Chain A
Amino acid sequence: MAEQIIFKREEDMPYQPISFASMAWNKTGSWRYLRPRFDNKISLCNEGCPAGQDIEGAMVLIGKGKVLEAWELFKEENPFPGVCGRVCFHPCESSCNRKDFDEAVSINGLERFMADSASRQGRKLSPKRDKRKEKVAIIGSGPAGLTCAYHLARMGYGVTVFEALPVLGGMLRVGIPEYRLPEKVLEEEIDQILELGVKTEINVRLGEAFSLSDLGEYQAVFLALGNHRSKSLGIPGEDAEGVMSGVEFLRNVSLGKEVALGKRVAVIGGGNTAFDAARSALRLGAKPFILYRRTREEMPAFPAEIVEAEEEGIEISYLVSPIQLIAENGKVSRLACVKNRLGPADEDGRRRPVQIKGSNFFLEVDHVISAIGEDADLSALPKKVGWKENAILTDERGATKQKGVFAGGDIIQQPRTVVHAIGSGKRAAIFIDCFLKGNKWEGLFDAIRIGERGSLSIKRYLQEEKERVPFSSKTVRLKDLNLDYFDYQKRKKMPKAQIAKRLGSFEEVNLGYSEETARGEANRCFNCGVCNLCDNCYIFCPDVAIQKQGEDGPNVIDYDHCKGCGICVEECPRDALIMEEEVK
């Protein structure tokens, strides 16, 4: 620490006012009555990701070219970045603050980029913790089941996954077509889970090959059966030959079974299953068309899928309901339909279709695929597990009414998406761990919750309590950012296969980002609420009271000299600093 220089006489002083030593002896921090503090908050993307991934953190890493580190960060929370990077409906992007500035960051495309880069470089993961003696049975190998298996295996538990089908992956494998999710991508991520020591048994259906009571050697069970049963159309003629469900059709295609389709294939429904079925049928040489009872506005399928289907030339008829299937010689040949108009909204807020009298018409068809929704077949479960309207009832941990039995994925009451399934698998892993250790779980949510929308961080859960950095529960909105520091920048477009190449082939449609594009796109991220070492505070601090600690930070505040002027807080582009009253 420099000493204060004292000039006794005018002659000793320099001719101009100039410093000869540091003023660090002058602890101007004593003047402060407000105190800035680095306070990382929650970005809306992180809050919005049901899988609880640290998206904001990964954007920083990709932006710096540290792609594998970004992938590892994602893998902490989710074993399926390669899958999610292709099929997730990316609620993170709908939450992104950037969407109200110019366009949301292409997080989904970047997730895929990370996973593809890691795959190309053959990256593997290792178990995190020592082996434990307890064993857990997981029923169903879809995204929920395998995610739960992954996290439990990393925590050292012995895990066995029971699967009814001859293949692993659940709906990822038999529900989502190859052109959206190539089998090798899924297989690679499943292999990484199996390499952690997860055991699997295939072709064993609950209720046929075994029952819950046979699982006595397991201390906990996770139910993730999935929704594999198609809802019926409920109209006459449904059992005619040439009529099948979307789930069944997609499963047969995925499993490589022979599927003979005629030319004219009517697909009924407006969800992702309907679109997957229509686009698969197209690739098998048919000329499918989609009938939907409401308008595009109410369609539950992902907008990107609708656009791609249209690009591929699939005709979509809106406000049309089938009312009867007419067979000729036992085989469906005509579809009687009626036109609808939109009536008042029903309980889920979508406007209800109302049939228009006398608008009946007929369509010539060779095949009909019905895809109006799926539900769970829970008939093999004992009553005490507890369910309502074909959905298992769980508490906030994912625990059912039966002790030691947890549930997740499409069979519980939550949105039926891959990423919600993954989130529920992770949640179950956390609370199965609590359950098996006999730990209290009630206070845990405050420490591991990411925002207010139910996402949890297993990374924080696995940290010792004292290692956990204090976690702000505040989220950062566009108005909290200092937008002077951001330029308008167009979202980078994801290249797609040419339409001619897509027809007649199950080759992947989306082609992924190049490294350069990915870095540019990641750098569009505002890093809402999280210090990314942009050093604005360091540059602006008039008292040099922001101190850098090497390349990876964190920046710290020298409170001996910080006068509390607040410029750092004002100039922080991303609301990662706050001002608090000084406590003397």
Chain B
Amino acid sequence: MKKILVGNHAVSWGVMLARAEVISAYPITPQTTIVEELSVLCADGRLKAKFIPVESEHSAMACCIGASAAGVRTFTATSSQGLALMHEMLHWATGARLPIVMANVNRALGSPWNIWGEQTDSLSQRDTGWLQLYCESNQEVLDTVIQAFKIAEEIRLPVMLVLDAFFLSHTAEPVEIPEQSLADDFLPRYQPEFRLDPKEPHSFGCLTPPEYFMEFRHKIQQSMLQGKAVSERVDKEFGEAFGRKYGLIEAYRCEGADLILVTSGTIASTARVVVDALREKGRKVGMVKVRLFRPFPKEELWEVLREAEKVAVVDRNVSFGVGGIFAQELRAAFCNEKTRPPIFSYIAGLGGRDVTPQVLNDVVYQTYKRSEPEEQSVWVGMRS
């Protein structure tokens, strides 16, 4: 069945198909309509879940942690300041090894106030131990929700799926809604090994002295690394079951490319158009969309980018004092490779500014023009 859904409702319907059992959330633009729709689905019985309204995102995540520890599938959604407010709870969810799934609608953080798209919110949480999957379309959003639960429950780590404010969250697209039975076959009921149960009491997350703490952290790191293979396998199985797959990254027309653009989210859609046009003109330009950001898919990226002469990363985010975060990650990932393409870093589209084909053409033009990358990220699409 196909439906016309905005990206936020694609999240909600994905959560319904995944049969989440506890949802706790606090409203924040541009996320609100995700949980608004979920509250409707809960209220009319289409989704048999406990919907817990709370007074803050911190409490929302705390609720999800409690519910997940009790052994049920849990979901929440947020944006920007809300995600920032959750910060300490994000670490806790990871340490407690709880497979919570969260949708984060990328939005810039204030001050000044801004409700539009930017990835700095989710990227600020990159060290919390949550897997991060960046989506490009509403269909990918719905499918990623279902995949996310499966990945999370297998490696016992929380997963954040990320979608752009307004470009996806409030934009309607046709979305194929899978049959519930198909979703049920793909994603069986969550059965954790341990759960909060008064009949079998355990203390969870109790004080752990230095002689054991590092081992618990090491286990998380191992699971996180394992998460890459698991995500890949889950995506493959999803493809077999539903006929759609996305990969950890997607290489678009990269064959024989001398310049490859690297980006994520909805900028990838614009980049496809730009790449097509440039290829038309005989330019050997390709594009790589990074879908899985944590764990970082170094090998997959290396496989595609190693042969390129230049790599240009377009970041809709900024780490002040360094620059674009995807670029920084990529440089760090490749730094031990003996011969590697130079990595050009561009910052575009902050606070919801449009990243038009013109902006991406400028990126391509500047990258061709320079023999080496600038020391700092280059800001493009600025007022001049």
Contact = CB atoms under 8 A, between A and B. Distances in A.
A16 B68 CA distance: 13
B202 interface: yes
A23 B96 CA distance: 19
Contacts of A13: 212, 215-216, 219
B220 to A, nearest CB: 9
Interface in B187-237: 193-194, 202-206, 208, 212, 215-216, 218-219, 223
B96 A16 contact: yes
Contacts of A469: none
B215 A10 contact: yes
Contacts of A20: 202
B104 to A, nearest CB: 24
With most chain B CB atoms within 10 A of its CB, the pick from A13, A18, A19, A20 is A18
A7 B219 CA distance: 14
B194 A10 contact: no
Contacts of B323: none
Contacts of A10: 215, 218-219
Contacts of B202: 18-20
A15 B156 CA distance: 9
Interface in A1-27: 7, 10, 13-20, 23
B215 A17 contact: no
Given A13-B219, A15-B156, A20-B202, A7 B212 contact: yes
Contacts of B373: none
Nearest to B201: A19
B97 interface: yes
B178 interface: no
A19 B201 CA distance: 9
B341 interface: no
A15 B222 CA distance: 11
A574 B216 CA distance: 43
Nearest to A16: B97
B95 interface: yes
Contacts of A15: 97, 156, 193, 219, 223
A176 B336 CA distance: 104
B156 A17 contact: no
A18 B193 CA distance: 11
Chain A interface main SS type:
loop
Contacts of B193: 15
A237 to B, nearest CB: 81
Nearest to A9: B215
Nearest to B206: A19
A16 B206 CA distance: 10
B194 A17 contact: no
Interface residues of A, number: 11
Contacts of B95: 17
B218 A17 contact: no
Interface string A373-399: 000000000000000000000000000
A224 B202 CA distance: 68
A27 to B, nearest CB: 15
Nearest to B69: A16
Interface string A7-50: 10010011111111001000000000000000000000000000
B219 A18 contact: no
A545 B97 CA distance: 29
Contacts of B223: 15
A377 to B, nearest CB: 74
Nearest to A21: B202
Nearest to B213: A17
A16 B194 contact: yes
Contacts of B218: 10
B223 to A, nearest CB: 8
Interface in B96-113: 96-97
A20 B205 CA distance: 12
B196 to A, nearest CB: 10
Contacts of B216: 13, 16-17
Interface string B352-381: 000000000000000000000000000000
Interface string B234-270: 0000000000000000000000000000000000000
A17 B213 CA distance: 9
A541 B202 CA distance: 17
A23 B209 CA distance: 13
Contacts of B206: 17, 19, 23
A16 B212 contact: no
Nearest to A19: B203
Contacts of B96: 16-17
Contacts of A14: 194
B352 to A, nearest CB: 39
A373 B253 CA distance: 115
Contacts of B219: 10, 13, 15
A242 B292 CA distance: 110
A10 B213 CA distance: 10
A18 B215 contact: no
Contacts of A23: 203, 206
Contacts of B208: 17
A16 B204 contact: yes
B212 A18 contact: no
Contacts of B194: 14, 16, 18
B202 to A, nearest CB: 5
Interface in A528-555: none
Contacts of A18: 194, 202-205
A565 to B, nearest CB: 14
A19 B196 CA distance: 11
A7 B212 CA distance: 9
A301 to B, nearest CB: 56
B156 A16 contact: yes
A14 B193 CA distance: 10
B193 to A, nearest CB: 8
Interface in B139-173: 156
Nearest to A12: B215
B62 to A, nearest CB: 17
Contacts of A19: 202-204, 206
Nearest to B193: A15
Interface in B20-43: none
A14 B212 CA distance: 11
A19 B96 CA distance: 12
Contacts of A7: 212, 215
Nearest to B97: A16
Nearest to B204: A18
A23 to B, nearest CB: 8
A20 to B, nearest CB: 7
Q: Which of A7, A14, A15 has the most CB of B within 10 A?
A: A15
Nearest to B203: A19
Contacts of A17: 95-96, 204-206, 208, 216
A19 to B, nearest CB: 4
A544 to B, nearest CB: 10
A20 B212 CA distance: 15
Contacts of B205: 16-18
Contacts of B97: 15-16
A274 to B, nearest CB: 62
A18 B96 CA distance: 9
Contacts of A16: 96-97, 156, 194, 204-205, 216
10 contacts: A13-B212, A14-B194, A15-B97, A17-B95, A17-B205, A17-B208, A18-B205, A19-B202, A19-B206, A23-B206
A-B pairs with lowest CB-CB distance, top 10: A16-B97, A19-B203, A10-B215, A18-B202, A19-B202, A17-B205, A18-B194, A17-B208, A18-B204, A13-B215
Given A13-B219, A18-B202, 17 more contacts: A7-B212, A13-B212, A13-B215, A15-B97, A15-B156, A15-B193, A15-B219, A15-B223, A16-B97, A16-B194, A16-B204, A17-B95, A17-B205, A18-B204, A18-B205, A19-B206, A23-B206
Interface of B: 95-97, 156, 193-194, 202-206, 208, 212, 215-216, 218-219, 223
